[in-house]
Amino acid sequence: MRRERTIELIDTQSGGDVSRIVIAGIEPVPGATALEKARFLQREGDGLRRLLLSEPYGDPAMSVDLIVEPGHPEAQAGYIIMEAMGYPMYSGSNTICTATALLESGTIAMTDGVQSVVLESPAGLARITADCADGRVESVTTRGEPAFVADRDLVVDAPGIGPVRFDLVWSGAYYAMVRAADHGFAVAADEQIALAAFGDAFVRAARPGLRHEHPSLGDVGPLPFVHFMGEIRAMAGGGLESPSATYVHPGVICRSPTGTGTSARLALMAADGDLAPGGTLETISPRGSRFLGTLTGPAEVGGLPAWDSTTTGTARLLARSHVTVDLDDPLVDASDLEALLRE
């Protein structure tokens, strides 16, 4: 008997970053919350992540978002974020893509005009405002968990680079915030290979000495991301803009400026007194895509001063597909996958 299973996907992109939304074909994941479900997959069901982010089914530069039952009564759906580096607690671009896919597929009913959506990520509730017209989501504004500056003026000696000074900021994951100009970068398109090489060398050197703990989420794993901060410029119509690039894993600089990277930058600027509530920053990726970050006000995380902010972006649907998984294919690692796939 052939052991084949089918997974239903909606492929999306926001700012150029591709997110694969898994909307059907997976058995219920154990756990009362999105966080518990994510940690179960990390321990006992990592085959799904590996399958959809590896050849021949996918590419490690993509992300996967698995739709799950939420644990919080306010949430309309839960989602678990999977990337090559593991299981991020929150992601702005993935949230924008997930909300767009759920609305445009009819999984969450869409109405024209401004619509509120609440999703449950492993980090907590993502409160979303979607601007919808003629059956399309024109833009998504999402507010995730508060961001806070965890450590200032850290220095790591990275092989082949030398001393790198950075700040450590939490914004759904820990980010090493590096001032690009200190290392000769303008954060331009032709620097992406060099930025990725720098990020890889830096992360390998920095990880052993950095914290893994979040005040309320516990162990969130080793440092996943580096955010290269370009020059801040005033925009003609008001507000600020800055070239920005996020290193996510070996060889990959995000095509978008990233929502969590933008949120981390806003928190750092607020802590430095460079941005007040209501202030905005448009981050610009090396490929020219933009996210709009808005600082909304002060908050607190585990007794630490923190900042709430929103990220606004647009996602577009790329494909709707039913993927066949042949569990007898030698290229499919079925060891911790078969139990997750619905017959």
Q: Are residues 61 and 103 in the same domain?
A: yes
Split into its structural domains, the chain has a count of 2
Q: Are residues 84 and 222 in the same domain?
A: no
Q: Are residues 182 and 269 in the same domain?
A: yes
Q: pLDDT per residue over 248-307, tens digit each?
A: 988 899 999 999 999 999 999 999 999 999 999 999 999 999 999 999 999 999 889 999
pLDDT mean across residues, the chain: 95
Q: pLDDT per residue over 88-138, tens digit each?
A: 999 999 999 999 999 999 999 999 999 999 999 999 999 999 999 999 999
Question: Which sequence positions are flagged as catalytic?
Answer: 91
Q: Are residues 159 and 266 in the same domain?
A: yes
Q: Are residues 180 and 70 in the same domain?
A: no
Q: pLDDT per residue over 181-223, tens digit each?
A: 999 999 999 999 999 999 999 999 999 988 788 988 888 889 9
Q: Are residues 255 and 124 in the same domain?
A: no
Percent of the chain with pLDDT over 90: 86
Q: Are residues 179 and 306 in the same domain?
A: yes
Q: What pLDDT is stored for residue 250 in this prediction?
A: 83
- For the entire predicted model, the pTM comes to 0.94
Domain that holds residue 304: 148-311
Q: Are residues 49 and 70 in the same domain?
A: yes
pLDDT above 80 for 1: no
Q: What pLDDT is stored for residue 334 in this prediction?
A: 85
Q: Are residues 80 and 159 in the same domain?
A: no
Q: Are residues 212 and 335 in the same domain?
A: no
Q: Are residues 227 and 307 in the same domain?
A: yes
The enclosing domain of 105 has a CATH number of 3.10.310.10
SS3 letters across the chain = CCCEEEEEEEEEEECCEEEEEEEECECCCCCCCHHHHHHHHHHHCCHHHHHHCCCCCCCCCCEEEEEECCCCCCCCEEEEEEECCECCCCCHHHHHHHHHHHHHCCCCCCCCEEEEEEEEECCEEEEEEEEEECCEEEEEEEECCCEEEEEEEEEEEECCCEEEEEEEEECCCEEEEEEHHHHCCCCCHHHHHHHHHHHHHHHHHHHHHCCCEECCCEECCCCCEEEEECCCEECCCCCEEEEEEEEEECCEECCCCCHHHHHHHHHHHHHCCCCCCCCEEEEECCCCCEEEEEEEEEEEECCEEEEEEEEEECEEEEEEEEEEEECCCCCCCCCCCHHHECC
Q: Are residues 94 and 195 in the same domain?
A: no
